[in-house]
Structure 1
Amino acid sequence: MNVTEIGAIQGASSAQASTLAPVRNASESFGSMLMGGVMNVDHAVQSANAAVAGFALGNELPPHQVMLALEDARLQLQFALQVRSRLVEGYQELMRMQL
């Protein structure tokens, strides 16, 4: 692979990333964004539980799909916990401010 091929690949990936970026509605509130994120995490956890149950019951589910579902749910849950801890830290910082 030469330098021009690498540049073409990087250019294509950056163009794809910009077209795939989600567009947020300006009227969407912060609370609704948080609730949407929590619902996405809940859906990922439920999907992982269903995959594990299906695998345990002997369904034709490959083990790698079960592991991917579990890892996706774990990562989404960790991200949600990080967001929660940052929000709590921000709230505590606001409460410590002197008026």
Structure 2
Amino acid sequence: MAISQVSITQPVQPTLTQTVAQTIPSQNKESFGTVLKNAISAVNDSQVASDNMTNKLVNGDNVELHDVMIAAQKANITLNTALQVRNKVVEAYQEIMRMTV
């Protein structure tokens, strides 16, 4: 059993701000409405996929139970994430409205 040597010459991971700045050039920015529409569409797609898998299982199609449960959990997580983001946006809006001018 050999122990390999630890190398310090591995590249350093870029910071989050550098990564975001590189992935979103200024000429390719999407509007807020487009981003919101895509996010809601993704949540809806996961819900529909979960419903389809559940219906296939109920109808006796060749679907594994664990695949159905995974799809249901993914749909649940995406919906809860969307709800939490919405709550934070509403909270931020309310905080802005409480500011005195």
Q: TM-score range by the shorter chain?
A: 0.7 to 0.9
Q: Secondary structure at the match of 1:95?
A: helix
State the 4+ residue runs in structure 1 displaced beyond 6 angstroms. none
Asked which structure has the greater CA Rg, the reply is 2
Q: Does 1:65 align with 2:67?
A: yes
Gap runs ≥5 in structure 1: 15-20
| Larger helix fraction of residues | 1
1:42-96 superposed Cα distances (whole Å, 9 cap, x missing partner): 0000000010011000000000110010000000001000100000001101111
Q: Does 1:74 align with 2:76?
A: yes
CA distance in 1, matches of 2:94, 2:68: 39
CA distance in 2, matches of 1:78, 1:2: 47
Report 1:79-94 matches (<5 A).
79-94=81-96
Report the identity percentage.
31
CA RMSD of aligned residues (A): 2.8
1:23-59 superposed Cα distances (whole Å, 9 cap, x missing partner): 4463201221111111000000000001001100000
Q: What TM-score results when the alignment is normalised by the length of structure 2? A: 0.74
Residues 3 and 92 of structure 1: is their aligned pair in 2 closer, same or farther, counting only changes over 3 Å?
Answer: farther
Q: What TM-score results when the alignment is normalised by the length of structure 1? A: 0.75
Please name the residue that 1:48 is paired with.
Answer: 50
Gap runs ≥5 in structure 2: 14-19
